Copies of this chain bind each other. A is one copy, B any other.
Amino acid sequence: MESKCENCIVRQFNSLRALSKEELKKVSDSKISKKIKKGDSLFVEGQKLDGVYCVRDGVSKLSKLSSNGKEQIVKLTNKGEVMGQRSVVAEDFTNLSATAINDMEVCFIPKEIISNTLNTNPNFSLEVLRHMAHDLKEADDVIVNMSQKTVKQRLAEAFVYLKKNYGEDEDGFLVLTLSRDDYANIVGAATESLIRMISEFKKKGLIKTSGKKIGVVEEQTLQEMADGF
């Protein structure tokens, strides 16, 4: 038997904290723990989801293919986040694919439980609503960044964001290690352009690299760069 939701810390960070004890028990009894290996996908764009995924550990990218076949990463998940909520709530196909960036531990929660609870527990609905409102605001910000900032600014912002959200190790390298390709797909640029820019940042001493690993050296300068100064 796996650990219970009642004792799960990550629940604090997501909408499941609005559940009553009984509701939580139901969730706990029907959830399925899964381990996802780095690079494997949790679900794919256009798929019908049978439930949501609660992230216990690891990071995944939520991405979407554009008509030209390039991947665009729309969001990186944080620990405790629930994925697939939008799709389950709207009873819709997923508009995004979720792929593990490093090894993950997730809990799958069947959609019936989610929709039942949505119908009966207004607090839970509100909590989900608030999370979605937050996501929507962030999406708006991304839209503005994508259309008004240069690749250089977006990359600078990405580094600051990654440091803030996922931290750095004792040597000052970002904990979350992304491929150059992933960086390109976050920032929305050609991989070659992005690699060049990383070299440039390194030359200027704004970042340091060691293989795939990247460390933020001049956070302040990067932030100013992102803000257009």
Q: Indicate with 1 or 0, residue by residue over A106-137, a CB within 8 angstroms of chain B CB atoms.
A: 00000000000011111001101110111111
Question: A140–B74 contact, CB under 8 A?
Answer: yes
> A228 near B: Cβ within 8 Å?
yes
Q: 1/0 per residue A150-182: CB within 8 Å of B?
A: 000000000000000000000000000000000
A144 touches B92 (CB 8 A): no
| Residues of B close to A228: CB separation below 8 A | 67-68
Among the listed B121, B135, B149, which residue makes an inter-chain contact with A66, where contact means beta carbons less than 8 Å apart? B149
Find out whether the CB atom of A137 lies under 8 angstroms from the CB atom of B86.
yes
CB-nearest residue of chain B to A64: B144
State whether the Cβ of A102 lies closer than 8 Å to any Cβ in chain B: no
Chain A at the B interface: SS class? helix
Q: Which of A128, A134, A140, A142: most chain B CB closer than 10 A?
A: A140
Does A33 interact with chain B (Cβ within 8 Å)? Answer: no
Known: A119-B126, A139-B140, A147-B146. A133 touches B89 (CB 8 A): yes
Q: B residues within 8 A CB of A148?
A: 66-68, 70, 72, 188
9 nearest CB pairs, A to B: A147-B188, A66-B148, A125-B125, A139-B139, A90-B133, A146-B146, A72-B144, A86-B133, A132-B132
Residues of chain A touching chain B, judged by Cβ–Cβ distance below 8 Å, are 64, 66-68, 70, 72, 74, 86, 89-90, 92, 95-96, 118-122, 125-126, 128-130, 132-137, 139-149, 187-188, 227-228
